[in-house]
Amino acid sequence: MIEHSEGNVVMIDTDDMLVCGYCGIEEVYMEDCDCSEEVITYFDFKERIVEETMGNKDEYHRILDGGRC
Ligand SMILES: [Zn+2]
């Protein structure tokens, strides 16, 4: 994990974060999403979306931004 807490910029490596395997919402907010998907890491989620969108960057970013919930 990379964390810079000095100054105004806080950058955290989110790849280890646990998210909903369908919409990518963070695990802590999953009671708000209706999907009954497994919880996976954000890294695995991104891999999954890369395969699903097959190079469609607009669709990729739309889903990563929570476009499915
Ligand atoms: Zn979900």
**Higher pLDDT among residues 4 and 43, named by residue:** 43
Ligand 1 centre and the CA of 39: distance in Å? 9
- Residue 3: which residues within 8 A CB-CB, separation 6 or more? 10, 11, 12, 13
How many angstroms does the Cα of residue 59 sit away from the middle of ligand 1? 17
How confident is the model over 12-36, as pLDDT tens digits?
678 999 999 999 999 988 887 888 8
Distance in angstroms (rounded) separating the CA atoms of residues 30 and 13: 20
In this prediction, residues 43-52 reach a mean pLDDT of 96
59: left (phi over 0), alpha (psi -120 to 50) or beta: alpha
Domain boundaries, the chain: 2-64
Q: What is the pTM of this model?
A: 0.75
